[in-house]
């Protein structure tokens, strides 16, 4: 049998293993989970910040550097061709992952933050005038606030903010009232990183489009937990980060509808984004190359492709069901802790619970939990305006991934009980 044939058989066998394994078994694929922290086995519940990487992703990145490392789109030699093939194959995987119509609608970026900045600069650089409006929501991460404020500063546009209710749910009617003929863009997250609320994105898209506005979806916290389909959502732009879907840091993607990308000017100049350069002027390549100036993060792209393969083999629906069950289990158990209040009680939630404990600063919660090997996030979660809306300065947040299990939650609860004893004795 040929080497290529053997390779295909090996890959098929690996896929078969992955698909037939239970999610609990998949935990063994993540080397970082198997370690002691402060004398305890690690219970990692900071997945909204970043997820750990399965061996398959780590090996894909290592194999790339060991065998194929080369620059893309420019070499005629074998390694450059292999690197280019792997790079463009990963673009196709991203396309399929979010069901874009064409792989030319996928631009690789450093992550969600860079993707939003790209739109605010390239799309925003053309035709956003003084008095135009950008509508965001109270739930946004700083990366979906600040780029629009910077655009507003440059252009004289106005940033408006759609409110939420006390449960952390978007007020759709209020959002509709804030839409006007001057609204050019509605930018909102699909899932709140702080509260876990799932926003009714498809409905927002309908409302925005009826008002003549475009919609950018920050899907950083949606892609790890939900099946995301840009055509079903009808959105114009969508951004996500590789490191939150079991891929490497420093890589992510922007989806943009073909005709919008085609009409947008570049935002960074350099190699790979041009058609022709002369000292009298330059012309630009078609998207997506137009928005990918310079040597890209090829290894990151390869790793992202492997992460998408992994998540698809695990089955995003199966992951969603598992995480939903775990979120409910965690909610019930968190309610056992005296003085604890869950912040964010939206009817539709995924991925995370934020909470506060009476009389204990969230940073102290984080520090005490860490001493028991339980990793959570404490702070404002890059959502300071949301904290202000909620009348808080910070929360503690436990967030879940496909490998999270009941034991992680039980460890969280045990550590929280010890914390309340500690502070109760005060
Ligand atoms: N949007 C949302 C909803 C996020 O949760 C994050 C990161 C970003 C954008 C920015 O993503 P990046 O990959 O470009 O940095 N959120 C978090 C968090 O909740 N804790 O650490 C990072």
Give the CA distances from residue 395 to residues 195, 366, 422, in Å, rounded to whole numbers and listed in that order.
Answer: 10, 10, 19
Residue 208 lies in a domain: yes
Say if ligand 1 is within 6 A of residue 117 CB: no
Among 109, 241, 246, say which to mutate for ligand 1: greatest number of ligand atoms within 8 Å of CB: 241
Atom of ligand 1 nearest to the CA of 191: 3
Is 112 near ligand 1, meaning CB less than 6 Å away? yes
What is the residue with the minimal CA distance to atom 21 of ligand 1? Answer: 49
Whose CA is closest to atom 11 on ligand 1? 112
Question: 390 in a domain, yes or no?
Answer: no
Assign residue 109 the CATH number of its domain. Answer: 3.40.640.10
Residue 30 located in a structural domain? no
In a domain, 256, yes or no: yes
Contact 199, 217 (CB under 8 A): no
pLDDT of residue 426: 46
Determine if ligand 1 sits within 6 Å of the CB of residue 220.
yes
Per-residue pLDDT of the chain (426 residues; tens, 9 = 90+): 446 667 777 777 777 766 667 888 899 999 999 999 999 999 999 999 999 999 999 999 999 999 999 999 877 899 999 999 999 999 999 999 999 999 999 999 999 999 999 999 999 998 899 999 999 999 999 999 999 999 999 999 999 999 999 999 999 999 999 999 999 999 999 999 999 999 999 999 999 999 999 999 999 999 999 999 999 999 999 999 999 999 999 999 999 999 999 999 999 999 999 999 999 999 999 999 999 999 999 999 999 999 999 999 999 999 999 999 999 999 999 999 999 999 999 999 999 999 999 999 999 999 999 999 999 999 999 999 999 999 999 999 999 999 999 999 999 999 999 999 998 854
Question: Contact at 8 Å (CB) between 358 and 339?
Answer: yes
Determine the pLDDT at residue 14. Answer: 72
Does residue 395 have its Cβ closer than 6 Å to ligand 1?
no
CA of 112, closest atom in ligand 1: 14
pTM reported for the whole predicted model: 0.96
Mutation choice for ligand 1 from 111, 118, 147, 193, CB with most ligand atoms inside 8 A: 193
Distance CA 416, CA 426 (A): 15
Cα–Cα distance measured from residue 175 to residue 274, given in angstroms and rounded to the nearest whole number = 40
> Cα–Cα distances in Å, from 358 out to 140, 168, 341, 354, 421?
26, 20, 8, 14, 13
Q: Are 130 and 154 in contact (CB under 8 A)?
A: no
Instruction: Spell out the SS3 assignment of 244-277.
Output: HHCCCCCCEEEEECHHHHHHCCCCCCCCCCEEEE
* Residue 215 domain boundaries: 78-312
Structure tokens belonging to residue 174: 């209020």
Cα of 5 vs centre of ligand 1, distance in Å, is 41
Which are the contacts of 160, defined by CB distance < 8 A and separation ≥ 6? 133, 134, 135, 136, 178, 183
In a domain, 190, yes or no: yes
Q: Which long-range contacts (CB under 8 A, 24 or more apart) does 332-340 make?
A: 333/409, 333/410, 333/412, 333/413, 334/413, 334/416, 336/413, 337/413, 337/416, 337/417, 337/420, 338/420, 338/424, 339/420, 340/416, 340/420
Query: Nearest CA to 228 among 327, 316, 118?
Result: 316
Name residues whose C-beta falls within 8 Å of residue 335's C-beta, 6 or more positions apart in sequence.
342
The total number of structural domains in the chain stands at: 1
Residue 300 CA to ligand 1 center (angstroms) comes to 17
Q: From the CB of 46, is ligand 1 less than 6 Å away? A: no
Q: Is residue 268 part of a domain?
A: yes
Residue 36 lies in a domain: no
pLDDT at 364: 97
* 221 Cβ below 6 A of ligand 1: yes
Nearest in space to 170 (alpha carbons), one of 210, 135, 222: 135
Do residues 71 and 400 make contact, with C-beta atoms less than 8 angstroms apart? no
CA atoms within 13 A on the CB side of 277: 6
- Write down the pLDDT at residue 18: 67
Q: How confident is the model at residue 3, as a pLDDT?
A: 60
- Does residue 297 have its Cβ closer than 6 Å to ligand 1? no
Residue 385 domain flag: no
- pLDDT at residue number 73: 87
Q: Which residues are catalytic?
A: 382
CA of 58 to the centre of ligand 1 (A): 22
pLDDT value, residue 5: 67
The predicted structure's pLDDT at residue 16: 72
Residues 6 or more apart whose CB falls under 8 angstroms from that of 414 comprise 372
Question: Is 399 near ligand 1, meaning CB less than 6 Å away?
Answer: no
């Amino acid at each position: 049998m040929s080497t290529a044939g053997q390779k295909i058989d090996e890959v098929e066998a690996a896929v078969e293993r992955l698909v037939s394994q239970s999610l609990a078994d998949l935990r063994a694929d993540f080397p970082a989970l198997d370690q002691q922290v402060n004398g305890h086995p690690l219970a990692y519940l900071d997945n909204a910040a970043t997820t750990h990487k399965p061996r398959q992703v780590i090996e894909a990145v290592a194999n790339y550097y060991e065998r194929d490392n080369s620059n893309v789109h420019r070499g005629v030699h074998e390694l450059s061709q292999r690197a280019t093939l792997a790079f463009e194959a990963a673009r196709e995987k991203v396309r399929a992952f979010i069901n874009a119509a064409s792989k030319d609608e996928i631009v690789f970026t450093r992550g969600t933050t860079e993707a939003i900045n790209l739109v605010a600069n390239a799309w925003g650089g053309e035709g956003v005038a003084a008095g135009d409006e950008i509508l965001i929501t109270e739930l946004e991460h700083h990366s979906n606030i600040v780029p629009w404020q910077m655009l507003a500063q440059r252009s004289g546009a106005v940033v408006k903010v759609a409110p939420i209710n006390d449960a952390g749910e978007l007020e759709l009617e209020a959002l509709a009232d804030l839409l006007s003929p001057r609204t050019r863009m509605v930018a909102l997250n699909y899932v709140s990183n702080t509260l876990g609320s799932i926003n009714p994105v498809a409905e927002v898209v309908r409302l925005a489009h009826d008002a003549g506005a475009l919609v950018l979806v920050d899907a950083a916290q949606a892609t790890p937990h939900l099946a995301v389909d840009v055509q079903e959502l009808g959105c114009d732009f969508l951004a996500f980060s590789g490191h939150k879907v079991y891929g490497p840091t420093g890589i992510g993607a922007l989806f943009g509808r073909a005709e919008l990308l085609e009409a947008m000017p570049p935002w960074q100049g350099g190699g790979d984004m041009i058609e022709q350069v002369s000292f009298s002027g330059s012309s630009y390549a078609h998207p997506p190359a137009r928005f990918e100036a310079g040597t890209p993060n090829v290894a990151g792209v390869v790793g992202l492709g492997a992460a998408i393969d992994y998540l698809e083999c695990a089955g995003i629906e199966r992951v969603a069901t598992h995480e939903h069950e775990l979120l409910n289990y965690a909610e019930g158990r968190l309610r056992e802790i005296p003085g604890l209040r869950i912040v964010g009680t939206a009817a539709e939630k995924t991925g995370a619970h934020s909470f506060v404990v009476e009389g204990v600063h969230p940073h102290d919660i984080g520090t005490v939990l860490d001493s028991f090997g339980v990793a959570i996030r404490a702070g404002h979660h890059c959502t300071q305006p949301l904290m202000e809306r909620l009348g808080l300065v910070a929360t503690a947040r436990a967030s879940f991934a496909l490998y999270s299990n009941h034991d992680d939650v039980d460890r969280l609860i045990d550590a929280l009980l010890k914390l309340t004893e500690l502070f109760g004795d005060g």
